[in-house]
Chains A and B, each alone.
Chain A
Amino acid sequence: MRANKGFYGEYGGQFVPEILMPALDELEEAYRAFAADDSSMQEFHRYLSEYAGRPTPVYHSKNISAACGFELYLKREDLLHTGAHKVNNTIGQALLAKFMGKKRIIAETGAGQHGVATATAAALFGLKCRVYMGSVDIERQMPNVKKMELLGAEVFPVDDGLRTLKDAISAALKDWVTNVIDTHYLLGTVAGPHPFPEMVAFFHAVTGTEARGYFTTKGALPDYVVACVGGGSNAMGIFQGFLDDPGVTLVGVEAGGRSLAPGGNAATLTLGTPGIFQGALSYLLQNDSGQVVDVHSVSAGLDYPGIGPQHGYLKDAGRVRYTSVSDDQALSAFHELVRREGIIPALESSHALAWALDNAGELRGKRVLVNLSGRGDKDLGIIEQQNGVKR
């Protein structure tokens, strides 16, 4: 999906301090040149296949299908190097950073998956790397913090606000404002100012292309494609393969958290209204006077009050259905997949699966593709804690 002068319908734009505008222009120009350059694209795809493990399989999940009465397919992004779809984008942007001659990259991270994928790309391409991470997330995703540090990245704790993803992005933007000359901000989702939403979606398009290829080989497209939505990158990745197929229902699943009251969730498209936040005009969880509302999700990668502008556009256009599932629904879907299929999914991806499992009536007899955006090793601490609460 290409933006029109930085906008998707009314959403998008570049709402950042003026000092970043030349950097955004430089980035857009470099990205267009990079994407149009055959040898750069070959290098990108070579790293995706030989280093990151693409293509990932689509797995027909027989046990759950038999139990639930619909045909469940999983796009196995959890099998990628570093454990999530995030690595598509970090390899792409790290190559681009080198293409631009930048020596240092910074990133924000919530669950730590984007941080690990960024630190990995930094190690691979010899770039200096700092990752901003809310101190609450540092505590709940410790294995990923340790991995980033092993990989040579500096994990910088952010103690502002709720000390989660939103605060990490603000801190990264402040760093970029200060160090814009030698630093590339390797943003981890389809949010932020143009050209980030378009560019990040571009690097993730491979997921949708592969998934579509699998089904065309089989002779029929899926009836439903379901993805979890935090900032929106894994969802854009897989949806792009099916946007022009009106017969394919696209479902984006947000974090319904512990309640749908303000502060209890991160269901931005379901409950939010248009607002300007961290670089873009899009849907936003905000109060009447425009203050950003606190968010909660059991999953550190989903608790973000903003959302990529493409999703606002796709919602208004009616092309994608956005909905939410609760923490508890996601947790039980997590256990379902572990026990029935022997796959430990990320809590983020468990949200997409939960929606499918809990809508078996509507889905009866249909082919349902769920994007399994990442694996759940990082979440074992949270799972243990949750089991403790239940016991």
Chain B
Amino acid sequence: MKGIYLVGCYPDADTFTRSFAAVAEAGFDFLEVGIPFNDPIADGPVIAGAIHESLARGVSPSHVMENIESLSHIPIKKYAMTYANIIHAYGIPEFSKRMTGLLEGVIIPDIPNRMARLFREKGFSLPIVPFATLETRESDMAMLNESESNIIYFVGVRGITGSKSDFTTPELVEKIRMIKDNTDKKVIIGFGIKTGSDARQACALGDGYVVGTEAVMRQKKPEALKAYLRSLI
């Protein structure tokens, strides 16, 4: 499973739509659409910069949700990536109701697995993608497996978006192995995938990957983005 993260409505709705279509055409399996929040504690300078730029231009979460709705005909799996407060402010059940049928699930970097339960209790019916990290313990796996999501998002770095994963470290390799041994879900490696070689290693070790920062960096230049997408596949 190969995926790309793009900041929604960035740099504008039209360019975003073209980038979105390019990802689908290039043969990727899923797209993560970032809904901007102005305190993105898991994001490095590139993605945080794009988020702040969008917000300064007046983009709101509703705009991005409309954008996602308008792209529902494009045949690619869609996830939303946003922060907890965006969903909380919209209304936890209301957000999931509006996005049901459009999204496979949501990725919420400031909702750790333990807190996902709380969102479900409050009426969030879309799958919340569980996280695994370099710190995940075997005892955490039961909670991950409880999730309705069929993928696990493995954060391949100690750090924020824009850091680089190091596939030569035994720690990373062993951790992915431990997680795969303890779940039936697909393990998608995110945070830190930059090059075609990273991508291939992620597919060999796990079940796929998602690229964020390197794609967002090219969102203003659709041609450069297309060339980059080709280099991954």
CB pair B111–A19 under 8 Å, yes or no, is: no
Q: How far is the CB of B105 from chain A (nearest CB, A)?
A: 15
Interface stretch (choices B4-12, B86-94, B181-189): B86-94
A-B contact count (CB 8 A): 107
CB pair A177–B158 under 8 Å, yes or no, is: yes
Q: At the interface, yes or no: A3 with Cβ under 8 Å from chain B?
A: no
Residues of B within 8 A of A35 (CB): none
CB pair B109–A289 under 8 Å, yes or no, is: no
Q: Given A174-B160, A291-B55, A18–B88 Cβ distance below 8 Å?
A: no
Residues of A within 8 A of B41 (CB): 16-17, 170, 173-174, 278
Give how many A residues have a beta carbon under 8 Å from the other chain's beta carbons: 36
Q: At the interface, yes or no: A276 with Cβ under 8 Å from chain B?
A: yes
Q: Identify B39's interface contact among A19, A21, A278, CB under 8 A.
A: A278
Q: Identify A276's interface contact among B61, B110, B112, B134, CB under 8 A.
A: B110
Residues of B within 8 A of A343 (CB): none
Residues of A within 8 A of B60 (CB): 289
Residues of B within 8 A of A177 (CB): 42, 158-160
Give how many B residues have a beta carbon under 8 Å from the other chain's beta carbons: 40
Residues of A within 8 A of B158 (CB): 19, 177-181
Interface residues of B in 55-70 (CB under 8 A from A): 55, 60-62
CB pair B134–A161 under 8 Å, yes or no, is: no
CB pair B42–A14 under 8 Å, yes or no, is: no
Q: Identify A289's interface contact among B48, B62, B112, B131, CB under 8 A.
A: B62
Q: How far is the CB of B96 from chain A (nearest CB, A)?
A: 15
Q: At the interface, yes or no: A363 with Cβ under 8 Å from chain B?
A: no
CB pair B85–A290 under 8 Å, yes or no, is: yes
Q: At the interface, yes or no: B115 with Cβ under 8 Å from chain A?
A: yes
Q: At the interface, yes or no: B165 with Cβ under 8 Å from chain A?
A: no
Interface residues of A in 146-186 (CB under 8 A from B): 160-161, 166, 170, 173-174, 177-181
CB pair A180–B89 under 8 Å, yes or no, is: no
Q: Measured between alpha carbons, how far is A255 from B137 in the docked complex, in Å? A: 43
Most chain A CB inside 10 Å of its own CB: which residue of B41, B87, B133, B160: B41
CB pair A18–B39 under 8 Å, yes or no, is: no
On B, residues with C-beta under 8 Å from A are 37-39, 41-42, 44, 48, 55, 60-62, 83-90, 109-115, 118, 131-137, 140, 155, 158-160, 163
6 CB-based A-B contacts, threshold 8 Å: A15-B84, A17-B155, A19-B134, A161-B38, A161-B39, A290-B88
On A, residues with C-beta under 8 Å from B are 13-23, 160-161, 166, 170, 173-174, 177-181, 274-279, 281, 284, 286, 288-292
Q: Which 5 A-B pairs have the closest CB atoms?
A: A290-B89, A18-B131, A19-B133, A276-B84, A18-B112
**Given pairs A22-B135, A177-B160, A292-B38, 15 additional interface contacts (CB within 8 A):** A13-B118, A17-B112, A18-B133, A18-B135, A21-B112, A161-B39, A178-B158, A179-B158, A180-B135, A276-B84, A279-B110, A281-B88, A286-B89, A289-B60, A291-B55
